[in-house]
């Protein structure tokens, strides 16, 4: 088990950041490796909504199903329900020195068949998450 957490300050309002990055359907625009992300459930995003993510990691394409566990103004959270890795995470959007302070946290609970590669996965995610947040920052500060 390991945790990756990253904070990025952005020149935009918390409402704008939450409106974009709080919608998991936008993940493929700023998270490297996400080929697509779509909601499986209809209706507005709310706790219990499910997402289907197609992700490429280390050359392998995988499908991850996740459930939204929290969706309140300024905060989203999820947990995986199927896929090769079990994890949960959150995205928090609050006022910061530039406008928004965005905190992304990922808790990897079980790497399943990738357990022997866990140190490598941890290292790669520790590099990838900050790069993803920098991509998000550029998009938000450019007005999308």
Per-residue pLDDT of the chain (144 residues; tens, 9 = 90+): 899 999 999 999 999 999 999 999 999 999 999 999 999 987 788 999 999 999 998 788 999 999 999 999 999 999 999 998 899 999 999 999 999 999 999 999 987 787 888 898 899 999 999 999 999 999 999 986
Q: Per-residue b/e over 98-116, b at no fewer than 16 CB within 10 Å?
A: ebbbbbbbbebeebeebee
Beta strands in 16-110 (DSSP E): 34-39, 50-57, 60-72, 75-82, 86-95, 100-110
Please report the pLDDT score of residue 100 as a whole number. Answer: 98
Please report the pLDDT score of residue 112 as a whole number. Answer: 79
Please report the pLDDT score of residue 89 as a whole number. Answer: 98
Please report the pLDDT score of residue 139 as a whole number. Answer: 97
Place of tokens 């020149």: 11
Q: Which CATH superfamily is domain 2-141 in?
A: START domain (3.30.530.20)
Please report the pLDDT score of residue 141 as a whole number. Answer: 97
Please report the pLDDT score of residue 87 as a whole number. Answer: 96
């Amino acid at each position: 088990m390991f945790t990756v957490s990253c904070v990025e300050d952005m020149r935009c309002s918390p409402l704008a950041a939450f409106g974009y990055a709080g919608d998991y359907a936008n993940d493929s625009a700023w998270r490297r490796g996400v080929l697509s992300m779509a909601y499986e459930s209809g209706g507005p995003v709310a706790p219990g909504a499910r997402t289907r993510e197609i992700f490429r990691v280390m050359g392998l394409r995988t499908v991850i199903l996740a459930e939204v566990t929290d969706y309140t103004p300024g905060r989203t959270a999820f947990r995986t329900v199927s896929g090769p890795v079990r994890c949960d995470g959150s995205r928090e959007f609050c006022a910061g020195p530039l406008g928004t302070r965005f905190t992304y946290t990922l808790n990897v609970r079980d790497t399943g068949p990738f357990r022997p590669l866990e140190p490598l996965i941890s290292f790669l995610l520790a590099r990838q998450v900050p790069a993803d947040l920098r991509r998000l920052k550029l998009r938000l500060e450019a007005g999308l």
